[in-house]
Chain A
Amino acid sequence: MKREDKKTESRFFSRRDVLKGAFYGLASLAIPIGSADASVWDAFFQKHFREMNKDEVGAVIDRLEKEYYKKFGKKFDIKTTEAIPGTLFGYGLDLSRCIGCRRCVYACVRENNQSRDPQIHWITVLRFKQGKKWVNDLEEAEKYYYPGEVPEEGYFYMPVQCQQCENPPCVKVCPTQATWKEPDGIVVVDYNWCIGCRYCMAACPYGARRFNWGEPRIAREELNTNVHYLGNRPRYKGVVEKCTFCIQRTRGNPGRYPACVEICPVGARKFGNLLDPKSEIRYIIENKRVFRLKEDLNTQPKFFYFFAT
């Protein structure tokens, strides 16, 4: 018996060698040979955004700018501006003024490069009948209203977008830490780290997150090339996205107001630094009737609905 065993072992390949060879052979098939330039490997081995040093981030930005140029034929300027120390962004929305015209929805789409097909909107404007249940029961809300003119008699409107929670449930459930809360309070997504499991969408009580079910399509002339890595840069199929308080605009010194604030024809939208006692958002919180959506869930939104009159 022993002798025969030795005979089989003395062949060219051992069982282990055969398995090894088969493994490496199959693994080599997985290399995308057609596009096997270095960038594919760089993308594959990219580190988590918050673990990268300045040079590594710079390399990623260079790679993405090249990638976008190849894809869209346009030069993108991808910023990675960090949070300004001493800022915590807060948002105010005057429900006594909003007329439900949806200008904010489409200004956001344009500014933040949302896919036009399949359609993605970060802001949803809800319409409620006066005297009916609302706030606690959004089931009675209508989001497909389309009359000739707004506001309509007997209705009022409430736009909903990401509430930038201080205690965000979406961040807690993310299995890859592809979404997190920045020091200035903005909850961001790294589209290169998101695996598209949509746990965050299930966890969000506001329905504020959107999923790219298809390859996002935007007409070339409508692309906004002034982008932030954690904000409005072009997304991929299969990743989740959401409102970032226009991180590419607001993180600046001076920093612009978000696009929805600037487009609102009735001036219902307010934005500022919660840590600055002289900001208009602080004035609103201290002097007006303010509520936060689904406050009982302890998500602690930094999005304050108020009534100025």
Chain B
Amino acid sequence: MTYARRLVLLIGLCVLFATLAVNNAYPGEEQEQTAATTRRKADPDMPKYVVPPPPLSEGIFPCSQCHEGMEPNPTRRELTFHTEISKGFNHAKEQRWCLDCHNPDDRDKLRLASGKLISFEESEYLCGQCHGTIFRDWKVGVHGKRTGYWNGRKVYRLCVHCHYPHWPKFQPLKPLPPPLKPDHIKYRKLSDDEIPRNPIGDISETVYKYEKRR
């Protein structure tokens, strides 16, 4: 091998390793490159962890499939198509209507107050422009749920995974049963079928669905 060839090989390897190191915060956990992930990577404040895609209603996205060519109408009114949203809408009702968040021109984008367009996958910027303190807590992992590894790859949730954007108050839940009182204690040995079953199954089924690779 000539000296020049060796040099080229060396440089090539360096470039390869450099790109690998940049792309993977945690090796072996490659993430699909989207506009949202690139933007999060560029922002030094943003978590370098996985944020799953938003829980868009089935068949509703992209918005442009219906809104293409439709004239944007900014007036407050009873909607004829997204009826449940206009009926249930409860998110600073007086100060806000559709086009304050949804972009009128490119309907598949959200719009910040600054006029900057963002995708649905990075909606945390939109929520964060009003809820700044919560946004700050979310970034460091204090607000909101996250799963994964305490010393490794973590999976965040977007604001909209827990707070439906059109009525964002966290919805009440049915609690699981209280502990048995001492007078419920049974004095006989139960058969295998009589043993009470746990109301929660294996958490990998309920929790880890967000952790699947996008």
Contact = CB atoms under 8 A, between A and B. Distances in A.
Interface string B23-65: 0000000000000000000000000000000000000000000
Nearest 6 interchain pairs by C-beta: A254-B152, A267-B145, A254-B149, A280-B141, A149-B172, A102-B176
Interface stretch (A44-52, A118-126, A169-177, A187-195): A118-126
A262 B150 CA distance: 11
Contact of A257 (B133, B148, B157, B178): B148
Chain B at the A interface: SS class: loop
A270 interface: yes
B142 A283 contact: yes
Chain A interface residue bracket vs B: 35 or more
B151 A263 contact: no
A110 B202 contact: yes
B162 A266 contact: yes
A136 to B, nearest CB: 23
B140 interface: yes
Contact of A101 (B173, B180, B190): B173
B170 to A, nearest CB: 7
Given A143-B178, A144-B178, A262-B203, A272 B195 contact: no
A165 B145 CA distance: 25
A160 to B, nearest CB: 12
Nearest to A269: B145
Given A106-B200, A263-B206, A266-B162, A255 B137 contact: no
Nearest to B133: A309
A24 interface: no
Contacts of A259: 203
A106 B144 CA distance: 21
Interface in A81-114: 84, 94, 99-103, 105-107, 109-111
Nearest to A252: B149
A265 B190 contact: no
A257 B141 CA distance: 13
Contacts of A294: none
A149 B190 contact: no
Contacts of B133: 309
Interface in A19-68: none
A120 to B, nearest CB: 9
B147 interface: yes
B194 to A, nearest CB: 8
Contacts of B145: 264-267
Contact of A255 (B151, B157, B176, B186): B151
Interface stretch (A9-17, A198-206, A215-223, A295-303): A215-223
